Amino acid sequence: MSASLETIQLPHLPSSLAAHAALYKDVQNSSYLRQQLLSANTEFEYAFIDASMILSRAHALSAVFRAANDYLNGRLKSRNVHSEIVFSLSPTNNIADSFRKFGIADTTSRLLVVKISVTPDITHESVAAHLEQNVQGSQIPFDDATLSEISDVTKIKKAYKLGSLPSAAPNQTNGTPGNAKKQLELSVLGAISLRGAT
């Protein structure tokens, strides 16, 4: 079974703003993809995310929701809704820093790609075809089980300054591994939601 591009309709967002997401491993041409972003090639308007910085689907989707909501309200802080997704993952207001931490790097091998249908000509088929042509890697399912194998919990905790949270080891009184993971995920969702609140 091979995974393929998934089209996600987030609750409450207009159906015209569908999100398309695909997860890759063994990506060979990260440096090329990153270069396209830097040169602002409009063909490559994607959120290219370092998948090791993503805990779960909910983590990624909350950044997508925040970016889409800010887009709908005309409040984007970065160039477009796709760069805003990467920025939205960050708990801080520094855009460059958010790309360093959560965006694609030349060495990224596990890549999460998100594209939002901001215009009607961006469809599941068009995105799938374009990614097929341009991302050299193998697609894996965009689900919590796969993400939990990929994610670098130590780096994520550091990025969100959540080092004091219980680790996955059952050391807390009520700290089963599942609880620690859940608590980290919920803390991250809170940090994403509250970014920029002064």
Asked if 120 contacts 16 with a C-beta cutoff of 8 angstroms, the reply is yes
Residue 40, interface with another protein (CB under 8 A)? no
First to last CA, the chain: 47
| Site track 64-93 with another protein (rule: CB under 8 A), x = hit | -xx--x--xxxx------------------
Residue 171, interface with another protein (CB under 8 A)? no
CA distance 159 to 49: 14
* Among 193, 154, 190, 185, residue whose Cα is nearest residue 56: 185
- What amino acid occupies position 7? T
Instruction: CB nearer to another protein: give 1 or 197.
Output: 197
Among the listed residues 54, 104, 116, 189, the single contact to another protein using CB under 8 A: 189
Among the listed residues 30, 36, 62, 151, the single contact to another protein using CB under 8 A: 62
- Tokens representing 38? 């830097």
Residue 194, interface with another protein (CB under 8 A)? yes
Q: Given the rule CB under 8 A, which of 24-32, 113-121, 132-140, 158-166 is the region that contacts another protein? A: 158-166
Burial track 40-50 (b if 16+ CB lie within 10 A, e otherwise):
eeeebbbbbbb
Q: Given the rule CB under 8 A, which of 42-50, 61-69, 95-103, 127-135 is the region that contacts another protein? A: 61-69
Residue 109, interface with another protein (CB under 8 A)? no
Which residues, including other chains, have CB under 8 Å from residue 26's CB and lie 6 or more apart?
Answer: 109, 137, 138
Positions touching another protein (CB under 8 A) are 10-15, 57-58, 61-62, 65-66, 69, 72-75, 162, 164-166, 172, 183, 186-187, 189-191, 193-194, 197
